Amino acid sequence: MSTEQEPGRAGEGMECRGGAARLRLLFVDDEPALREVASAVLAEQGYDVLTAEDGLDALRLLADPLPDVVISDLRMPRMSGFELLEVVRERFPRVPVIAVSGEFAGNELPVGVLADAFLSKGGYTIDELCGKITELISAPPTRQRHGVPVSQ
């Protein structure tokens, strides 16, 4: 994640979250420095941020209240982001997920990745991440669970 902005634009006109309620994010990555920076930057933008070092830790944090959005790296030890996203999709189908990885080019969702959005690791700005979060909260994904549509 790049936090660089053009001079004179730091936070200018940017409101990452909508409404009065603070959105709760779960940021999952096995790199401690990235978790720390992401948590600080997203908290500065007005989010409540939980962090986890891998999919297993993330599952322990997916309790009541559920996060509004999960942001997860795909390659992690113990339980990968691929495995985590499968569990989230099955158990918590209303929770939007942003996958992050340095293994895929561009910001198009790679085939087979069970996420609602994708960002290339190290290749996105905080504005782009906040934009994806806002987009997913504004128009949550519609999915089916056991053949029945799940609504927000």
Longest dimension (CA), the chain: 50
pLDDT at 111 over 90: no
Are 127 and 9 a contacting pair, CB within 8 Å? no
Confirm whether 19 is domain-assigned.
Answer: no
117-120 and 143-145: which strand pairing?
Answer: unpaired
User: pTM, whole model, 2 decimals?
Assistant: 0.80
Please give the residue range of the domain that contains residue 92.
Answer: 24-138
pLDDT at 145 over 60: no
Non-local CB neighbours of 98 within 8 Å, separated by 6+ positions: 69, 70, 71, 72, 115, 116, 117, 118, 119, 129, 132, 133, 136
| pLDDT of 87 | 94
pLDDT at 66 over 50: yes
Q: How many domains does the chain contain in total?
A: 1
Q: Mean pLDDT, to the nearest integer, of 9-29? A: 63
pLDDT in tens, 20-45: 468 999 999 999 999 999 999 999 99
- In this structure, what token pair is assigned to residue 117? 């959005």
Confirm whether 118 is domain-assigned.
Answer: yes
